[in-house]
Chain A
């Protein structure tokens, strides 16, 4: 997958291909706290970028800024070569940026189909009301889930309350794809999942990349990040500490830039993760 693009991007040199998303010196304050400071980040189509960092490094703040939930105080956001301002989540969605939060935000009392289409239900507009087209939604849901290889669901009419954690994550990710986004932001997609379920979600992420989407994955789990990412961006104390090509980077290097310790120091002195 577009390995050449990623390589070109790592050096920061513009080799003619345009990044899908480019952040330029994003900053965000909360009172006296600098949550983000001059953060630059680029994501290409067909690329998975792992965003790692210790707690409080600014990962969530950065995701929220890209998702339009919490716009940055300063900085520029370029999407597909256009300078855009994202003041609301709706603006980000309309542009083609989908976000899957850690808490998934599914309505447990509704079935899979209803959750997939929540807020973007298919139907027929009649005067004064919007009548749901359950058949079309169910058909589309079945197609979408099978195209993503989500096969563990017994029925798309199952209530989300009775799904496993991995199934819920798969539903949440699938939902983000309904609007046919170009960039998907995943916040801790494998947290609280078992080994098998984690593998399934990682496979799902690879499918997103294969379909040509740009993906940003936030995760605490370095092993997962290595497995799925093309590049790994490290945030530390609100700054972009370093960006690595996943292939060839070592776990030690990443941990060192997460914690700010020197690699050599780390060899002698145990840095807690």
Chain B
């Protein structure tokens, strides 16, 4: 999945062929970060499948897909903020508040549901803009601004919900977001389009490099990645079709992943996000408008948080005082970090939002299947997060000592 992100940037060292030793060393250096996560997911899935053979059933994997849609969406924004070397602790609260605004407007005030969704996104946009402004104009650390937001927006949610404290969502466009499943034929068409688009982008990129007389990466590597991506897509669609079909929510999440991968990897704006996160002073001297980059990233992050809140409300069929609270924030941040986005800025990739959500979602889903208690669940999730961050820190250090 990461492969799509690396087309533009050839491997750091030309790979002439494939060797296990080289692959292992690359794994250690974090260059195959996403492979490490995929291996992790395989291990987790194996463990849970052995413990409970319903884990890898089509029904459960289909449920898992819907469970992680909201977190994965919120995590995209978290990735963007982390790339800057900043943090946004308010994404959970913002997701709850945005969902609350949507629910109150559409249910209690009779707004058309679609306008409720737009209003929710607008709330996220406004809050993100405010966060960015506080960070840039007043130089307040994002940690503090968004920590205040964590409390403040949670309060705003309680205020918006008023006395009732909970708003149920009747069937509408909003609930359709997570209850719509595509016909299996549509699912296969989507799969073919996705694979063809990916293959075309790889081939075109190689052809352009060849035409320009530039070094080409190893053909083997490109083919292996293509096979992996195509295999993953085919397997996912086959499994989802065996249950209710490809859910609309999954398509929304994948489209967001592709769009934001494109923005971060292929556009000048994305390059500037990485530059600001890597060396702010260098970015400033290069004429990059740092403040604008920061404000826009915080705005995107909160808007994506709102989008995640809408998906969560859609799936939960309600918004209540607990919406966006609890572990929503921590899981949204932990996911990308587990999947290889650095907390220290400048390193990471958008797909880590999805990969991380799959890891955390699988653990949570699997433990639910095993009917484990909350105490065990929290401790295990905490241990996985700590382990992943330790690997990240160790990889950073190895990269530093390699110079």
Contact = CB atoms under 8 A, between A and B. Distances in A.
Contacts of B266: 131-132
Contacts of A107: 274-275, 278-279, 282-283, 346
B346 A129 contact: no
A192 to B, nearest CB: 14
Contacts of B272: 119
B208 interface: yes
Interface string A114-150: 1100111101000001111011101100100000000
A162 B13 CA distance: 11
A139 B212 contact: yes
A110 interface: yes
Contacts of B109: none
B19 interface: no
A138 B214 contact: yes
A118 B283 contact: yes
A89 B214 contact: no
Contact of B269 (A115, A129, A155): A129
Contact of B13 (A89, A142, A155): A155
Interface in A143-184: 154-155, 157-159, 161-164
A171 to B, nearest CB: 12
A105 B285 contact: yes
Interface string B263-303: 10011110110110111011101111000000000000000
A106 interface: yes
Contacts of A108: 278-279, 346
Contacts of B11: 157
A114 B271 CA distance: 8
Contacts of A90: 287
Contacts of A162: 12, 399, 402-403
Contacts of B139: none
A163 B8 CA distance: 21
A226 interface: no
B376 interface: no
B20 interface: no
A111 interface: yes
A259 interface: no
B25 interface: no
Contacts of A118: 271, 275, 282-283, 286, 288
B269 A130 contact: yes
A129 B282 contact: no
B212 A135 contact: yes
A27 B345 CA distance: 40
Given A89-B285, A109-B346, A131 B267 contact: yes
Contacts of B213: 139
B278 A109 contact: yes
A119 B290 CA distance: 11
Nearest to B277: A109
A163 B400 CA distance: 11
Contacts of B9: 111, 134, 157
Given A155-B12, A155-B215, A157-B12, A130 B282 contact: no
Given A108-B279, A118-B286, A157 B212 contact: no
Nearest to A159: B12
A123 B270 CA distance: 13
Contacts of B286: 105, 118-120
B234 to A, nearest CB: 29
Contacts of B279: 105-109
B145 to A, nearest CB: 24
A134 B8 contact: yes
A119 B402 CA distance: 28
Residue of A120, A121, A123 with most partner-chain B CB within 10 A: A121
Nearest to B268: A130
A101 interface: yes
A93 interface: yes
B354 to A, nearest CB: 22
Residue from the set B10, B208, B263 with the largest chain A CB neighbour count within 10 Å: B10
B347 interface: yes
A8 B214 CA distance: 47
B17 interface: no
A135 B288 contact: no
B209 interface: yes
A103 B281 CA distance: 10
B287 A89 contact: yes
A79 B363 CA distance: 66
B110 interface: no
A165 to B, nearest CB: 9
B14 interface: yes
B348 to A, nearest CB: 10
Nearest to A104: B282
B12 A123 contact: no
B285 to A, nearest CB: 5
Interface string B212-249: 11110000000000000000000000000000000000
B372 to A, nearest CB: 39
Interface string A177-202: 00000000000000000000000000
A104 B279 CA distance: 11
A110 B212 contact: no
Interface in A58-102: 89-90, 93, 101
25 contacts: A89-B285, A90-B287, A93-B287, A103-B281, A106-B282, A107-B346, A109-B278, A109-B279, A109-B346, A110-B271, A110-B346, A115-B282, A118-B271, A118-B275, A119-B283, A119-B286, A130-B268, A130-B269, A132-B8, A132-B268, A135-B212, A155-B13, A157-B10, A157-B12, A158-B13
Given A120-B286, A157-B11, 8 more contacts: A106-B279, A107-B274, A108-B346, A110-B271, A114-B274, A118-B283, A134-B8, A138-B214
